[in-house]
Amino acid sequence: MTTPTAISPAPVLMPRSLRQTAIGILVVGHLLVAACALADLDRFFANWLVLFVFAATIGIGALFLVALEYVVNARWSIPFRRLSEHLAGLIPVSLLLAIPLFLGMHHLYEWTHADVVAADPILTQKSAYLNIPFFAVRFALYYLIWLLFYRLFTRLSQEQDRSGDEALTRRGIKLAPPFIILFAFTMSFAAIDWMMSITPHWFSTMFGPSAAVGGIVGGLALLTLVSAQLKIQGMLPERIGPDHFYNLGALLFGLNTLWTYMSFSEFMLIWYSNLPLEMTWYLQRQEHGWSLVTLLLVFGRFVIPFLALLSRPSKMNLNRLRWVSILLLATYGLHLYWVVLPGIPHLHDGPFSWMDLGFPLTAIGYGLFAWIWRSSRAALVAARDPRLESGLSFHL
Amino acid sequence: MSESRKVVGAVALYPSPDALVAGLEEARKRGFTRLDVVSPYPLHGIDHLLGKGPSKLGYVALVAGLLGVTLSKVAQWWMSEVDYPLNVGGKPLFSWPAFVPVTFELMVLFASIATVISMLAIFNRLPQYGSSLLRSTLMRDLTCDKFGLVVDARDPQFTSGGIRAALGGSAVLGIDLLHEVRPSRFFSEQIFSVRFLLLLVAVSFVSVTATHLVWKYAGALPPFDFMKAQEKLNPQRASSIFADGQGMRPLQAETVPRGQLPYRFADDPDGAAARMVNPVPLTAAALERGKDRYDTNCRHCHGLRGRGKGSLTSAFPKAPSLHGIKVRNWTDGRIYHVLTVGQNAMPAHARQVERDDRWRIIHYVRALQRSLNAPDTDLQ
């Protein structure tokens, strides 16, 4: 029964033009980024942090989708799983991107300055957690966990390309629950370390969970974009049809609404209690033109995608899925920009500058780089997964 | 089941959705048009194969959801901005972020109720007290793991004799003719039958009693009473929150409560008469409020029109009329002095009536006086 899938387990080489485009984008992006670093070092490090978090969380979100499929024993997503595994290649790439972050900690985090901490009783109390050695230890721990599971999941799947052994699927099912539990903790703490500690007096218990869900939405949006693009170019099996894409779109719709729900709950409780300590974080994002970014996020990250994916046929429409995913990825980056920049004293003066232009370009470049690297290692579909046939024959 | 009843259709049983789809396409090829499908779970895309357009139910949900959003916003605006304005922590009266959860819930509630009701009433044409399909021996399989194709007898291709042959195929597990349903013994076709209404009354009685008992007894048990039983400050009650055991707190030294500035003319009625003017502008709203406060605090002694004919006059010393020449010639400040510190048997009203409300009462008293003793200029 499982033999008629004539899908080759050999990797599909991406066209040369894609590689040239990636190199071109990276070169131009890095030139603009270097110009930003020369003009304003604070701005460079803040934008670089956005770029780093964007890449890392999307990679981990993609890995989460792999684990999710194992843990709920989903069939429809099996044809897409290899694409998620490829996208999780952003995790090792993001480790590369973390180097400038460590060089620029003094520009980003006020708790790294001993004199500021000594003069501030609250920061002195928090210094047991917020100090550079412990920050580095936690950072290493997160990456140890993520890279370990990244390696386990991708190797298991590629081994199956050779052997077609069902025991490997069972191993994935065993690995997934511990990863999901660790994912919840590491994503929460990473969000607190990297982004919340920019404003070290402020805290919100929803910050970590909504960052974790934001990463999953980012990973899922990139997966949707890549799979819709490949389908349009005819690089995916014929039998991946509208029903598969409907599920992808429905999951994207649901998870993005969940993210909005969490973010709005966070905002509403803080707005309602109106405590000076908590409210300042949102007030910072409502002045000096940042309210424009806030509005862009409300519409670009919720209202427009929500309406665009509300009807049933729209979730099967590949072009619709493609532009909604691009919009969601762009606004996810914008959201991280909105979280990071206003917290840094002189960047608070206003959003958007020519200096920011290089960073989205660089992000696209590194994304293409990760994609070309991963897709040269394994096929686009887990061709010899014993459950692939049932995944391909999925109908709503 | 007697065969004398009218045949209204036939049902064919299939083992799987794929077999059903094949049978459906076959039947449509043979020219059947009045077809329907019975399935234990939703079969996506079957509407399309039946030749039906997409369901209209989504539009019902959309319209009802939008109606819920609109109604909840209007209701919350009216309640908190118009009917009962309440200042909560200095926020705007109509604080939309705080109202989003209620709006969301009402949207879901309206959409789901409208969807269920319209599905049953419009699309499934309920209430019906029985269906010919329910009497079929195949129904047990149809609610479990088999799939049915139903042909209506009004279909031009339908004949009682020929339908078995027309629907028959290798995949078909069984075919049954469907007969007209007669009203059951207990439930007639009429919704307002005596038995049905009696049943309704019995069900309401049982559920109301159960609800009452649960509220009365279970609600008073922990943990359901935690909110009610928690330590809190109540006026006129003892409290263990403060060391002295008092719930009502004495004023802090050197402080003035908001809206209660100390009265400077307590022993100086002439100073009050000479040096105070009514600070509240004479407006319709001020008069309205003054009338309200007068009716609450003054009317029981001074009477509805201020003539000293209040409802308490037999039990207390008679209160003077406010239309006497003395009170008419008093300045507003002098009347304010009486309201604030009292006079003879009349106690001070500074505690009951806020400062500005006392001035509004004076506006109202002036209006009463003018109603009985209008100056000549009013009549011109």
Give the pLDDT confidence of A327-384 residue by residue, as tens digits: 999 999 999 999 998 888 887 777 888 778 888 889 999 998 888 888 888 888 888 8
The domains of chain B are located at 1-184, 269-373
Nearest to B365 by CA among B304, B318, B313: B304
Are B97 and A272 in contact (CB < 8 Å)?
yes
pLDDT at A275: 84
The distance of A263 to chain B (nearest Cα, Å) reads 12
Residue-wise over A127-143: b if at least 16 C-beta within 10 A, else e? Answer: beebeeeebeebbeebb
Are A268 and B101 in contact (CB < 8 Å)?
yes
User: Looking at the partner chain, which of B44, B58, B98 has a beta carbon nearest the beta carbon of A268?
Assistant: B98
Quick one: average pLDDT of A7-23? 82
Convert the pLDDT of each residue in A109-122 to its tens digit. 888 888 888 888 88
The distance of A292 to chain B (nearest Cα, Å) reads 18
pLDDT at B188: 54
Query: 1.10.760.10, 3.30.70.100, 3.40.50.300, 1.20.140.10: which CATH number matches B269-373?
Result: 1.10.760.10
Between CA B348 and CA A253 the distance in angstroms is 66
| B261 CA to centre of own chain | 42
Chain A positions touching B92 (Cβ under 8 A) are none
User: Looking at the partner chain, which of A267, A271, A396 has a beta carbon nearest the beta carbon of B45?
Assistant: A396
Q: Two tokens at B260?
A: 């209660």
- The answer to whether B184 and B31 have CB atoms below 8 angstroms apart is no
Chain B positions touching A243 (Cβ under 8 A) are 44
Taking 3-state DSSP, the helix, strand and coil percentages for chain A, each rounded to the nearest 5, stand at 80, 0, 20
Ordered per-residue pLDDT tens for chain B, 380 residues: 445 678 888 888 888 888 888 888 888 888 888 888 888 888 877 887 887 777 788 889 999 999 999 999 999 999 888 888 888 877 888 888 888 889 999 999 999 999 998 888 877 777 666 678 877 888 888 888 888 888 888 877 777 777 777 777 777 788 888 887 766 655 555 566 788 889 999 999 999 999 999 888 887 888 888 887 888 888 888 888 888 888 888 888 888 887 677 888 888 888 888 888 889 999 999 999 999 999 989 888 898 888 888 888 677 788 888 888 888 889 988 999 999 998 888 888 888 888 889 999 999 999 999 988 888 887 77
Give the DSSP H/E element, type plus range, for residue B10.
Answer: strand B7-14
Chain A positions touching B101 (Cβ under 8 A) are 268
Looking at chain B, list the stretches that DSSP marks H as alpha helix, in order from N- to C-terminal side: 17-29, 46-49, 57-77, 96-118, 139-142, 163-167, 194-217, 226-229, 269-275, 284-297, 299-302, 325-329, 332-341, 355-372, 376-379
Write the Ramachandran bin of B51: left for phi over 0, alpha for psi from -120 to 50, otherwise beta. left
Chain A positions touching B90 (Cβ under 8 A) are 274
DSSP A264: H
Chain A positions touching B58 (Cβ under 8 A) are 311-312
Chain B positions touching A312 (Cβ under 8 A) are 54, 58
Give DSSP secondary structure letters for B33-75.
-SEEEE-SS--TTHHHHTT----THHHHHHHHHHHHHHHHHHH
Nearest to A151 by CA among A172, A137, A130, A165: A172
Q: Report in angstroms the alpha-carbon separations of B263 from B270, B276, B280.
A: 14, 11, 17
pLDDT at B192: 66
The distance of B97 to chain A (nearest Cα, Å) reads 6
The distance of B58 to chain A (nearest Cα, Å) reads 9
Between CA A150 and CA A254 the distance in angstroms is 25
Between CA B338 and CA A305 the distance in angstroms is 68
- The answer to whether B211 and B199 have CB atoms below 8 angstroms apart is no
Q: Two tokens at B61?
A: 């949900």
The distance of B74 to chain A (nearest Cα, Å) reads 20
User: Looking at the partner chain, which of B44, B97, B101 has a beta carbon nearest the beta carbon of A271?
Assistant: B97
User: Looking at the partner chain, which of B45, B89, B97 has a beta carbon nearest the beta carbon of A268?
Assistant: B97
User: Looking at the partner chain, which of B58, B90, B100 has a beta carbon nearest the beta carbon of A264?
Assistant: B100
Chain B positions touching A396 (Cβ under 8 A) are 44-45
pLDDT at A382: 82
Chain B positions touching A294 (Cβ under 8 A) are none
Q: Does the ipTM surpass 0.90?
A: no
Chain A CA closest to residue B43: A396
Whether A274 and chain B come into contact, CB under 8 Å, resolves to yes
End-to-end CA distance of chain A: 21
Q: Decide: helix, strand or coil at residue B291.
A: helix
Nearest to A201 by CA among A110, A132, A113: A110
Average pLDDT along chain A? 88
Between CA B237 and CA B245 the distance in angstroms is 9
The distance of A3 to chain B (nearest Cα, Å) reads 21
Whether B257 and chain A come into contact, CB under 8 Å, resolves to no
pLDDT at A246: 92
The distance of A247 to chain B (nearest Cα, Å) reads 13
pLDDT at B1: 44
Chain B CA closest to residue A243: B44
Q: How many CB atoms lie within 10 A of CB A193?
A: 18
Are B89 and A264 in contact (CB < 8 Å)?
no
- The answer to whether A59 and A89 have CB atoms below 8 angstroms apart is yes
Between CA A147 and CA A60 the distance in angstroms is 10
Write the Ramachandran bin of A102: left for phi over 0, alpha for psi from -120 to 50, otherwise beta. alpha
pLDDT at A3: 44
The domains of chain A are located at 23-387
pTM to 2 decimal places: 0.71
Are A396 and B44 in contact (CB < 8 Å)?
yes
Chain B positions touching A271 (Cβ under 8 A) are 97-98
The residues that bridge with B11 in the sheet, in sequence order, are: B150, B176
Are B54 and A271 in contact (CB < 8 Å)?
no
DSSP A302: I
- Dihedral, CA atoms, A97, A102, A107, A111, nearest 10 degrees? 130
Q: Compare A179 and B43 and report the one with higher pLDDT.
A: A179
Are A268 and B45 in contact (CB < 8 Å)?
no
- Cis preceding-peptide flag for B127 (omega within 30 of 0): yes
Quick one: average pLDDT of A288-298? 89
| B105 CA to centre of own chain | 13
- The answer to whether A325 and A363 have CB atoms below 8 angstroms apart is no
Burial of A269 (0-12, 13-18, 19+ CB in 10 A): middle
User: A199 — phi, psi (to 5°)?
Assistant: -110, 80
The residues that bridge with A108 in the sheet, in sequence order, are: none
Q: Which of residues 228-257 of A touch B (CB under 8 A)?
A: 243
Between CA A200 and CA A121 the distance in angstroms is 12
List CB contacts of B307: < 8 A, sequence separation 6 or more.
Answer: B321, B322, B323
Whether B100 and chain A come into contact, CB under 8 Å, resolves to yes
